[in-house]
Chain A
Amino acid sequence: DQQVKQNSPSLSVQEGRISILNCDYTNSMFDYFLWYKKYPAEGPTFLISISSIKDKNEDGRFTVFLNKSAKHLSLHIVPSQPGDSAVYFCAASPDSNYQLIWGAGTKLIIKP
């Protein structure tokens, strides 16, 4: 039972263009959503988050959008840079114990 789904295993984007990574969830009780970035041989690093009371959060080149009615969130990276090439994980929190439920990840490749 996958509560957090990232349906695109990989995404290739030209440098300078916008990268859009998508995430769907099934549990309406999730109240906090996060994006993590992972390089090979390293642990995931926190990128950006959004609370369920908001529909948008922006941090520099990164913006996360939340559509609660559709149970969908997306991460926009603009402009995309070569250093953005990594695996991006969407995660959600079902309760206050801070346990995270993770998607399977999307590998983003930025082409020069």
Chain B
Amino acid sequence: DTGVSQDPRHKITKRGQNVTFRCDPISEHNRLYWYRQTLGQGPEFLTYFQNEAQLEKSRLLSDRFSAERPKGSFSTLEIQRTEQGDSAMYLCASSLGQSKNYGYTFGSGTRLTVV
């Protein structure tokens, strides 16, 4: 197991286009998280899954954003009708649900640039 994988590493898209990112968590981890990080800021929580169930969504996750984890393994994050304000690093992390030290393992992120 090589850790949390995110694909693509970089994405440049024109405003108004749809984009989809993929995250493959550590195989035995049942929790999966999406965070967004803009320049000079810490990561901001977007949503998380326990197995295939999406248990919490941040108010940052507008209607243009949707996340899925169909079989409790990999997850996708889709942004429809992208805006320049969506430009950020999108980070995925996974953990074991019962791990009180959180044990988050992050992927290297997908950097989105909307032009």
* Any A CB within 8 A of the CB of B22: no
CB < 8 Å neighbour of A43 from B4, B95, B101, B103: B4
Q: Which residue of B lies closest to A38 (CB)?
A: B106
Q: How many residues of chain B have a CB within 8 Å of chain A?
A: 26
Task: Check if A105 sits within 8 Å of B42, measured CB to CB.
Answer: yes
Which residues of A in the span 57-104 have a Cβ within 8 Å of any Cβ on B? 89, 91, 93, 97-104
- Report B65 CB to chain A, min CB distance, Å: 16
Interface window among B43-51, B67-75, B80-88: B43-51
Task: Check if A32 sits within 8 Å of B48, measured CB to CB.
Answer: no
- Report A22 CB to chain B, min CB distance, Å: 15
* Any B CB within 8 A of the CB of A41: yes
**Contact A98:B48 (CB < 8 A) given known A34-B102, A49-B101, A93-B102:** yes
CB < 8 Å neighbour of B41 from A32, A42, A104: A104
Task: Check if A44 sits within 8 Å of B100, measured CB to CB.
Answer: no
Task: Check if B45 sits within 8 Å of A99, measured CB to CB.
Answer: yes
Task: Check if A43 sits within 8 Å of B93, measured CB to CB.
Answer: yes
Task: Check if A42 sits within 8 Å of B102, measured CB to CB.
Answer: no
Contact with A along B78-111 (1 / 0, CB 8 A): 0000000000000101010100111111111100
Which residues of B in the span 24-63 have a Cβ within 8 Å of any Cβ on A? 31, 33, 40-45, 48, 55-56
Cα A27 to Cα B102 with chains together (Å): 19
Task: Check if A44 sits within 8 Å of B43, measured CB to CB.
Answer: yes
- Report B77 CB to chain A, min CB distance, Å: 15
- Report A45 CB to chain B, min CB distance, Å: 7
Residues of A that sit less than 8 Å from B by CB:
4, 6, 9, 32, 34, 41-46, 49, 89, 91, 93, 97-105
Residues of B that sit less than 8 Å from A by CB:
4, 31, 33, 40-45, 48, 55-56, 91, 93, 95, 97, 100-109
The 6 closest A-B pairs by CB, nearest first: A102-B42, A43-B106, A99-B45, A102-B43, A43-B108, A44-B106
